[in-house]
Amino acid sequence: MAVAQQGADPATSATGEIHADRPGPRMNRQVFGQFAEHLGHGIYGGIWVGEKSAIPNDHGYRRDVLDALRAIKVPMVRWPGGCFADEYHWRDGIGARAKRPVKINTNWGGVDEDNAFGTNEYMGFVERLGAESYVSANVGSAAPSETAQWVEYMTSPSGSTLAKERAANGHPAPFKLNYIGIGNELWGCGGNMRAEYAADLTNRYALFAKAGGTNKLLKIASGPSDANYEWTETMMRLAGKNIDGLALHYYTRPRDKVWGDKGPALGFSENEWASTMAHTLQMDEFVTKHSAIMDKYDPEKKTWLVVDEWGTWYDPAPGSNPGFLIQQNSVRDAVVAGVNLNIFAHHADRVKMAAVAQMVNVLQAMLLTDGARMVKTPTYWVFDLYKPWQDATVLPIDVTSPWYHKDAFALPAISASAVRDTAGQVHVALVNLDPTRAIPLSVALTGVAASSVSGRIVTGANMDSHNSFEQPDVVKPASFGAAQIAGGTLTATLPAMSVVVLDLH
């Protein structure tokens, strides 16, 4: 229900209502998960530099990256791919590093992969972050026995030969394996499969992925991308009873017609900004329609929709290896992040986990590194703002928004979500995706006993304002003072192209 505010002009002002008296589902902290693939400098140089590196490290892991990721409470890390996963053989990545085979990363740049970062290194990484583990099994080019043995190696508490091998590699206690992906993009780089065949393989591989001891392991099927509803229908019909989650991949590409022409990460036009926002708003339609299909087979909503690859995908940074998917990250990406996190909040009953692609140095990254230097991106700062959303109760919020018009695009300018955090405090996220004008907003607070408000904002002077290694603090959160509460109504003026998170007191 939208609330008409006396005097508010719907063409220029937003109005709304938060229904704190009607609490919704929990927003799992796992929705703030991240994806780390063996791709470019996503792992090597970005997370892992090795113990002998001059870059300060904790047993080979970059200290600056660990500190930055801990600060935003990364809840889950998906690894080792992506397309890399369906060519990955776990045995290549265990034991003495000097003896591990060197392979070619055929998906990403054709570079040598020396397997220095393997299972023990990955588990050490998530343990250091306090995050959950999510590995993608090789379904495309390996037998189910390989998945079965990998799971046994990771989780078996017994004296089996594989458990002893893990102990000999430095980890006598089982690792905690929370999630396993049954292949990745089986319709594409995971094996070019038909949905029926992929569903049959999902049943087979999921059966043999048996975790040891008390390890509860959730199995995530390789799902559709974008609007491939037939895949969801088939996977749920044929394999729905044997899986705990279904993946969904959707990348925001401003020019979605040709893969080779996605548009630059910086120096884009306002038309391209509007196109980016129009494309990212499609996430809501995809989640809604895939969820509706899942509802037919799983009306109790036990099966998670896991959006384990999402984010922007632009042309590679000029001069970089095109196979490394390096791109800068600007205010546009911050707004995209806020819009998507709000969409996930609105679908918190079904979207129980997600992973932004990717964590470091790849696509819509949290962090960029260059040798010893590291910079936090605008997307990182949005994840920082949304920390109270982790495990919070979603509160229904209705907003009637003015429209943002640019060329052929007409989009609602305001995206919003609201939660009550685990300590009982209410928070409101407001995104103004219009890059040209500030928007006044007035929201009735039903069921919220708050009398004051504080907040933080992420915005920039230009649509492509960004942080570079030379100027790392161009885009970072600032305190936001343009909000008030009076008479049970929250009012604020949202600057153009901004992400604002308000804390109600």
**Residues within the interface to ligand AHR (CB under 6 A):** 37, 81-83, 184-185, 309, 357-358, 363
**Alpha helices (H) in 371-449, listed in sequence order:** 378-385
Helix axes 378-385, 331-346, angle to 10 degrees: 30
Q: Residue with structure tokens 């992906």?
A: 181
Angle at 268 between CA 265 and CA 273, to 5 degrees: 90
CB of 128 to ligand AHR, least distance (A): 23
Least distance (Å) between residue 311 CB and ligand AHR = 8
Taking the C-alpha atoms of residue 64 and residue 413, their distance in angstroms, rounded to an integer, is 36
Q: Residue 102, SS3?
A: coil
Cβ atoms within 10 Å, residue 231: 25
- Of 229, 353, 199, which Cα lies nearest the Cα of 291? 229
Quote the CA–CA distance of 88 and 77 in Å, as a whole number. Answer: 17
Distance CA 283, CA 279 (A): 8
- Token pair of 320, please? 């970089």
Nearer to ligand AHR, 17 or 87 (CB): 87
What's the 3-state SS for 175-204?
CCCCEEEECCCCCCCCCCCCHHHHHHHHHH
For ligand AHR, give the closer residue by CB, 57 or 184. 184
The H or E element spanning position 104 is strand 103-104
Nearer to ligand AHR, 9 or 261 (CB): 261
Q: Min. distance of Cβ 357 from ligand AHR in angstroms?
A: 4
The catalytically annotated residue of 37, 121, 185, 272 is: 185
Q: Which is nearer to ligand AHR, 82 or 477 (CB)?
A: 82
Q: Are 331 and 497 in contact (CB under 8 A)?
A: yes
Our CB check for ligand AHR shows the closer of 155 and 379 to be 379
The CA dihedral of 43, 46, 47, 52, to the nearest 10 degrees, is 100
Count how many Cα atoms sit within 13 Å of the Cα of residue 439 in the half-sphere of its side chain.
32
Distance CA 295, CA 277 (A): 28
Phi/psi for 445 (5° steps) reads -105, 105
d(CA 36, CA 38) in angstroms, rounded, equals 7
Point out the catalytic residue in the list 87, 113, 152, 309.
Answer: 309
CB nearer to ligand AHR: give 104 or 207: 104
Omega before residue 80 within 30° of 0, cis: yes
Distance CA 112, CA 82 (A): 17
For the chain, the straight-line distance linking the first and the last C-alpha, in angstroms and rounded, comes to 25
Q: Which has the closest alpha carbon to 46: 470, 370, 384?
A: 370
In Å, how far from its chain's centre is CA 390?
Answer: 13
CB of 84 to ligand AHR, least distance (A): 6
Comparing CB distances to ligand AHR, the nearer of 37 and 113 is 37
Q: Shortest Cβ distance from residue 367 to ligand AHR (Å)? A: 16
Q: Which helix (H) or strand (E) holds 500?
A: strand 498-504
Residue nearest to ligand AHR (CB): 82
Nearer to ligand AHR, 163 or 357 (CB): 357
- Nearer residue to ligand AHR within complex by CB, 184 or 401: 184
| In the complex, minimum distance from the CB of residue 284 to ligand AHR, in angstroms, rounded to a whole number | 21
The CB-of-138 to ligand AHR minimum distance in angstroms stands at 13
Residue closer to ligand AHR, measured from CB, 82 or 378: 82
Number of Cβ within a 10 Å radius of residue 144: 18
Task: Say whether 300 is catalytic.
Answer: no
185 is catalytic: yes
Written as one letter, the residue type at 96 is A
Taking alpha carbons only, the member of 133, 148, 136 closest to residue 107 is 136
Active site residues: 185, 309
